[in-house]
Amino acid sequence: MCPKEETITVVRLKAFYNPAQWQRLGLKTKKAKNKNMFKDKDNNYRLKIAFDFDGTLTEPDVFLFAQRLIQCGHDVWIMTARIESDDEYIEQRDFFGVFTEEDVSTRNADLFKIAEELGVPRDKIIFANLESKSDAYFKHGFDLLFDDHSEWHCNPICENGGVAVKI
C-alpha cells in the first residue's frame, strides 16, 4: 500500500497542496484548482493518468510503475494509437500495402492481456486510430500522459496546456 502522504512531482503539475506546510515556509496559500483531479476516501488527491501501450506500457518497468500508481489509488487508463475497428484496420493495412497472415480478430490480444493483468478494464482503453492523442487527452480530462513518442503525442498535449512525459 501507499504511504498516506505520497507525492509524485511532475514539472508544471500543481497537484499537491499542503496549506500548513506552505504557511510554515512563509508561502502564500493560494490553492491551485484542477478540475480533473479527484480526492479519494482519505481526502488525498489522485490523478487521471494515461499510458501509451506499444513501447511504453509493454516495458516491464513502466508496467510496474503503472501498477504502483493503481495501488496508490490513481485512475490509470491505456491510450493507444492502434486502430480499434477490424474493418478500418484491414482498410488501412491494405492501403499501406502491409500484408500479413495474422488473424485480425486477435490483433489486440496482447493489449487486452496486459490491461487485464494491470487491472485496467476495457472501458478504460482508448484507441486513437492512428491519430494524435491530444484530442482524446483533453476530451477525457487526463492530468498526465506517458508515451514514447514526443513529436506525435507528447508535444501537442504540452503545447496546449496538458502534461505529457516522453519515456
In a domain, 30, yes or no: no
Determine the Cα–Cα distance for residues 17 and 33; give it in Å rounded to an integer: 10
Q: What is the pLDDT of residues 122-151, one digit of tens each?
A: 999 999 887 888 899 999 999 999 999 777
CATH of the domain at 56: 3.40.50.620
**pTM beyond 0.85, yes or no:** no
By three-state DSSP, how is residue 11 classified?
coil
Asked whether residue 149 is domain-assigned, the answer is yes
User: Strand pairing of 125-127 and 38-39?
Assistant: unpaired
Asked whether residue 16 is domain-assigned, the answer is no
Residue 159 identity (one-letter amino acid): E
Instruction: Identify whether 7 is part of a domain.
Output: no
In a domain, 24, yes or no: no
Structural domain of 101: 36-166
The model's pLDDT over 72-108, given as tens digits with 9 standing for 90+, comes to 889 999 999 887 766 676 666 666 666 666 666 677 8
Is 162 part of any domain? Answer: yes
The pair phi, psi for residue 70, each rounded to 5°, is -65, -45
**Domain tally, the chain:** 1
Spell out the residues 6+ positions from residue 39 whose beta carbon is closer than 8 angstroms to its own.
Answer: 45, 46
What Cα–Cα distance (Å) separates residue 18 from each residue in 21, 30, 39, 40? Answer: 5, 11, 14, 16
> Residue 66's CB: how many other CB atoms inside 10 A?
23
Q: Is residue 51 part of a domain?
A: yes
